[in-house]
Structure 1
Amino acid sequence: MDKIEELTRQIMADPQNVSYTERGIKPLFLAPAHAKILVIGQAPGRVAEKSRIPWNDRSGELLRTWMGVSRAEFYDSGLIGIIPMDFYFPGSGKSGDLPPRPGFAEKWHPLLKQTMPEVELTLLVGSYACRSYLKLKKSATLKETIQNYHNYLPEYLPLVHPSPRNRRWLKNNPWFETLILPELQGRVADLLER
C-alpha cells in the first residue's frame, strides 16, 4: 500500500470522520508526488464532494482562470496538489457552506505535505487557509493580508476565495486583478515550465 492510500485509510478510520465513512464518502484531496504548487482552500462544496473532483464548480473555474491554467493542467499535470482545510463537505449554513472543522487541517496537512516534497509555492485560498498558515492576528483582514502578499513569498501567496459570493469584494478591490493576478500567473507559469 502506498503512502497516499495509507493516509486515506487513516483519515477514513478517524472517529472524527466516521459519519462520512459510513456514508461511503472518501476524503477529497489530490497529492501528486511531484507537485510544485499546492492549493489550500476551504472545504469541498456539495458539487465537488458529489463529483469527487475538488474545485469542480464556478469557484474552481475562476481559480483556474486566475492561475492561468487549463482544467487538464490543474487536475492531470501531476504538478498541482490540492489540500482543503477539511476534506469533506461541512454542510450548509445561513450564508453559505459551514466552515471547515477546527483542528482538522492541523492533524492531516503535515502528513500529506510530506508526500509532496517538491512543492515550492502554496496558494492560500480564502481566510481559513490564510489564518491557519500565516498565523494572522485576529485584527488582520484578508484585504491587508493579500495586499502584503510579498511578506509571505516565496513560500505562500494569499488569495481571496473565488466564490461567487465574493464578487462584491473583487469589484471593490480592483487592485487584486492588476497587482495579484500577474504575480500569481507568472509564478505558476514559471513552476509549471520547469
Structure 2
Amino acid sequence: MGVFDEIRAQVAAHPTNAWATEAGFEPLVVASERSRVLIISQAPGRLAQETGIPWNDPSGVRLRSWLGMTDAEFYDPENVAIVPMDFYFPGKGASGDAPPRRGFAEAWHPLVLEQLVDVRLTILIGAYAQKHYLGARRGPTLTDTVRRAESYLPLFPIVHPSPLARGWRSANPWFEAETAPRLAQLVRKALAT
C-alpha cells in the first residue's frame, strides 16, 4: 500500500467521514510523490463522487481546456495531484454545491502536501481554496485575486470552471483570452522541468 492509499484509508476510517464510508464513497484525492502540478479546489461534485473520478463533468472538460491538457495527461497522477478542500461531495447548497466542510483541509491537507515534494505549480480553484492558501494576500474580490494571478506564483488562483460561473466569464472576457492561455503555458513548463 502506497502512502496516498494509507492517507485515503485514514480519511475513510475517521469518524467524521463515517457517513461517506457507509454510503460507499471513497475520499477523492489523487496524487503521486512525483506530481508536478497541484490542483486545490472546492470539493468533488456529485458525479465525481459517484464515479470516483475527479472533475468528471462539464466543469472538468472546461478546466482541462484551460490547462491545455488531454484527459490522459490530466488523469496521470505523475502530472497532476488533485487535492480538494474536502475529499467528499458536500451535498447541494442554495445555488450549486454546498461548501466544503470547515476544518477538513486543516486536518488532512498537511498529510497529503508533505508528500508532494516535486510540485512546481499550484492552481487554486475558487474562493475557498484561495482564502485558505492566500489568506490576507488575496484581493478584496475573487475577480481581483484572479486578475493578479501571476503575482502569487507558484500559486495561481483561477475562477471555478463551473457552468454556474458562466456570467462571471462573460463579464470578464480577459480570463479566457489572456489568463487561461498563460496558465496553459505555466502547466507545460511545470510538466517539462
Fold-level similarity (TM above 0.5)? yes
Residues 8 and 29, structure 2, Cα contact 8 Å, conserved in 1:
no
Query: 1:165 corresponds to which residue?
Result: 164
Residues 35 and 80, structure 1, Cα contact 8 Å, conserved in 2:
yes
Query: 2:97 corresponds to which residue?
Result: 97
Choose 159-168 or 68-77, whichever is displaced more: 68-77
Query: 1:127 corresponds to which residue?
Result: 127
Residues 44 and 88, structure 1, Cα contact 8 Å, conserved in 2:
yes
Which residues of 2 match residues 12-161 of structure 1 at below 5 A? 12-76=12-76, 78-136=78-136, 140-153=140-153, 155-161=154-160
Deviation of residue 133 (structure 1)? 0.5
* Residues 137/182 of structure 1: CA separation in 2 closer, same or farther (3 Å cut): closer
* Offset from partner CA, 1:142-188 (integer Å, 9 cap, x none): 000011112211x2000000000001100100111222112201111
Query: Separation in 1 of the partners of 2:86 and 2:8?
Result: 13
Query: Separation in 1 of the partners of 2:35 and 2:5?
Result: 17
Is residue 4 from structure 1 mapped to residue 7 from structure 2 by the alignment?
A: no
Residues 48 and 54, structure 2, Cα contact 8 Å, conserved in 1:
yes
Query: 2:192 corresponds to which residue?
Result: 193
* Residues 173/94 of structure 1: CA separation in 2 closer, same or farther (3 Å cut): same
Structure 1 runs of 4+ off > 4 angstroms?
none
Percent identity between matched residues is 47
Query: Separation in 1 of the partners of 2:88 and 2:125?
Result: 17
Query: Separation in 2 of the partners of 1:165 and 1:182?
Result: 21
Query: 1:177 corresponds to which residue?
Result: 176
Choose 74-83 or 130-139, whichever is displaced more: 130-139
Query: Separation in 2 of the partners of 1:24 and 1:73?
Result: 28
Deviation of residue 76 (structure 1)? 2.2
Per the alignment, in what secondary structure is the counterpart of residue 39 of structure 1?
A: strand
Give the letter aligned to residue 96 of structure 1: G
Alignment RMSD: 1.5
> What are the ranges of 5 or more consecutive residues in structure 1 without an aligned counterpart?
none
Choose 138-147 or 54-63, whichever is displaced more: 138-147
* Offset from partner CA, 1:46-76 (integer Å, 9 cap, x none): 1000110000000000000000000000002
Give the letter aligned to residue 134 of structure 1: L
* Offset from partner CA, 1:25-57 (integer Å, 9 cap, x none): 110010112111001111011100011000000
Per the alignment, in what secondary structure is the counterpart of residue 157 of structure 2?
A: strand
Deviation of residue 77 (structure 1)? 5.8
* Residues 151/91 of structure 1: CA separation in 2 closer, same or farther (3 Å cut): same
